Amino acid sequence: MFCSLSRLYRGLSRPTRRTTQLIWSSFSRSLVLSSQRRIPELSSFVARTNTCGELRSSHLGQEVTLCGWIQYRRQNIFLVLRDFHGLVQVIIPQDESAASVKKILCEAPMESVVQVSGTVISRPPGQENPKMPTGEIEIKVKTAKLLNSCKKLPFEIKDFVKKTEALRLRYRYLDLRGVQMQYNLRLRSQMVMKMREYLCNLHGFVDIETPTLFKRTPGGAKEFVIPSREPGKFYSLPQSPQQFKQLLMVGGLDRYFQVARCYRDEGSRPDRQPEFTQIDIEMSFVEQTGIQSLIEGLLQYSWPSDRDPVVVPFPSMTFAEALASYGTDKPDTRFGMKIVDISDMFRNTEVGFLQDALSKPQGTIKAICIPEGEKYLKRKDIESIRKFAADHFNQEVLPIFLKTNNNWNSPVAKFIMEEQGLGLIRLLETQEEDVVLLTAGEHKKAEKFQSSATKLNIIHCLTFPCNSRVRKAILQILLS
């Protein structure tokens, strides 16, 4: 046997032409099998015959065995059984011959785990529940078994019961029973599986697991340090598999990916945690457009079917376009309100600080339109904006309000010529009650304002009472 295993190992370690053909033949078969979608067997290898949420009128008359948690019980006549797949109503037998079954189902506390066997029957006319997928049927129980009795719980396992985050984390094993948590975990599993299918089966990527314990690699965030058995020597948890995947590329594995755990010893932020998972991908012989197409196809293929479909190609813009239109290198394009350069329109202006700005070599005038801004911005708010701009950026901000009949209300309205006013309306697509903010000065390097922390601090420094949409608009004009 050892000799046969040795020959098998030597045969696999030295691929021949026939071995290569077998590998690619197996790979081709896997592509065919993956394209043939199969309904998962949710009750295979276990004691139940069906899940609680899958029974329908088509199952009438069938003998079934269900396992789940007791969700509700009414008048010791009905109870609702719950598992990960849904709910089903169970009839508690009332005759003397089934007294032991009735005792188990009536005395078991809520959230106890039970196993019931019985027949699928129709609900009486008029008692159907259209809000339940299983609302047309119920289970007439013949036998029951208490698998685990539940003690008193710190909160009810019901969606409408409000729990604090601290309580949910303390009793995480109970919180995981909730519908939303079940959905989230299963959705993640499905998406990761479809990502693997897309990358491996459709595009020939190789899923390779890289080590978790590694040497220290300075740069970026701080690393978690793990002591070893040898005094004075430590391991580090990798921030990402960067070095490993570069070795794989050099080694000839030109298409690699893994669902990688990454560790960074830094404070939690909305977009970063000390421990997180990422789809890590590396390719050889590829250009920027290839990577973009790969990621677009990956997300489109793995996107949940119950959500709006992903439309490709994704909208894109250059770094320079993002800074020019939004004042940041990662703009939120959902609220619009782009920064518009209106320097050419005001070349002949009589407004003093605008003239001074344009006289400089890199002088520019930019504007932003806040839709219905007059509803949000009062006089004291405008003064706060102007003071903030002067104190922090040494810039003047000029507010202009659009009134009825396209008339402008501003301290310098009389200096705005008619063609300039019409040009602003056309260029910014302004409407009545909109507010236009003008600012002028020498064009500053965008790198000064790229830090996301700086932008976040600026937003929170704005003390005037207005909504987040206006705050964001003002932030853009100040960073331009």
Dihedral sign, Cα of residue 60, residue 62, residue 63, residue 66: negative
By CB neighbour count within 10 A (0-12 exposed, 13-18 middle, 19+ buried), where does 310 fall? Answer: middle
State the average pLDDT for the chain.
81
C-alpha span between 73 and 68 (Å, rounded): 14
Q: Which of 10-14, 65-69, 360-364, 442-446 has the highest mean pLDDT?
A: 65-69
Single residue among 269, 302, 335 that ends a domain in this structure:
302
Q: What is the pLDDT of residue 213?
A: 93
Q: What is the pLDDT of residue 73?
A: 95
Q: What is the pLDDT of residue 12?
A: 41
Q: Give 454-471 pLDDT, tens digit per residue.
A: 333 333 333 334 455 555
CATH number at residue 413: 3.30.1360.30
pLDDT-derived band of residue 380, with 50, 70 and 90 as boundaries? confident
pLDDT higher for 86 or 351?
86
Asked if residue 462 and residue 342 are part of one domain, the reply reads yes
Domain range for 280: 185-302
C-alpha span between 83 and 52 (Å, rounded): 6
- Average pLDDT (322-335) is 82
Asked if residue 115 and residue 224 are part of one domain, the reply reads no
Single residue among 242, 270, 302 that ends a domain in this structure:
302
Asked if residue 473 and residue 334 are part of one domain, the reply reads yes
Dihedral Cα 460, 466, 467, 468, nearest 10 deg: -30
Asked if residue 330 and residue 288 are part of one domain, the reply reads no
159 occurs within a structural domain = no
Asked if residue 329 and residue 296 are part of one domain, the reply reads no
Tell me how many domains the chain contains: 3
Asked if residue 472 and residue 327 are part of one domain, the reply reads yes
Asked if residue 276 and residue 360 are part of one domain, the reply reads no
φ/ψ (deg, to 5) at 350: -105, 5
Asked if residue 364 and residue 232 are part of one domain, the reply reads no
Asked if residue 445 and residue 384 are part of one domain, the reply reads yes
Q: Spell out the alpha helix ranges (H) of 120-272.
A: 165-170, 172-175, 179-196, 242-250
CA angle 450, 452, 456 (to 5 degrees): 125
Q: List Cβ neighbours of 323 (8 Å cut-off, separation of 6 or more).
A: 329, 446
Q: What is the pLDDT of residue 239?
A: 87
Taking Cα atoms as reference points, which of 332, 288, 345, 330 lies closest to residue 313? 288
pLDDT higher for 247 or 377?
247
Q: List Cβ neighbours of 368 (8 Å cut-off, separation of 6 or more).
A: 337, 338, 339, 340, 428, 436, 437, 473, 476, 477, 480
Single residue among 302, 337, 366 that ends a domain in this structure:
302
% of the chain residues with pLDDT over 70: 78
CATH number at residue 107: 2.40.50.140
CA angle 217, 218, 224 (to 5 degrees): 70
Please name the residue that has the structure tokens 């300039």. Answer: 420
Q: List Cβ neighbours of 397 (8 Å cut-off, separation of 6 or more).
A: 385, 386, 389, 437, 438, 439, 477, 478
Hey, how many other C-beta atoms are within 10 angstroms of the C-beta on 329?
14
386 occurs within a structural domain = yes
328 occurs within a structural domain = yes
- Range with the lowest mean pLDDT among 47-51, 167-171, 268-272? 268-272
9 occurs within a structural domain = no
C-alpha span between 202 and 189 (Å, rounded): 19
Asked if residue 473 and residue 376 are part of one domain, the reply reads yes
C-alpha span between 460 and 108 (Å, rounded): 53
pLDDT-derived band of residue 449, with 50, 70 and 90 as boundaries? very low
42 occurs within a structural domain = no
Asked if residue 89 and residue 208 are part of one domain, the reply reads no
Q: What is the pLDDT of residue 376?
A: 76
- Average pLDDT (415-430) is 70
111 occurs within a structural domain = yes
CATH number at residue 241: 3.30.930.10
Asked if residue 122 and residue 241 are part of one domain, the reply reads no
- Average pLDDT (323-348) is 81
- Range with the lowest mean pLDDT among 118-122, 313-317, 363-367, 414-418? 414-418
- Average pLDDT (255-260) is 96
365 occurs within a structural domain = yes
- Range with the lowest mean pLDDT among 15-19, 37-41, 185-189, 207-211? 15-19
Please give the model's pTM, rounded to 2 decimal places. Answer: 0.74
C-alpha span between 433 and 258 (Å, rounded): 53
Alpha-carbon distances, residue 259 vs 286, 298, 302, 349 (angstroms): 21, 14, 14, 59
pLDDT-derived band of residue 198, with 50, 70 and 90 as boundaries? very high
Report residue 79 as tokens: 């109870």
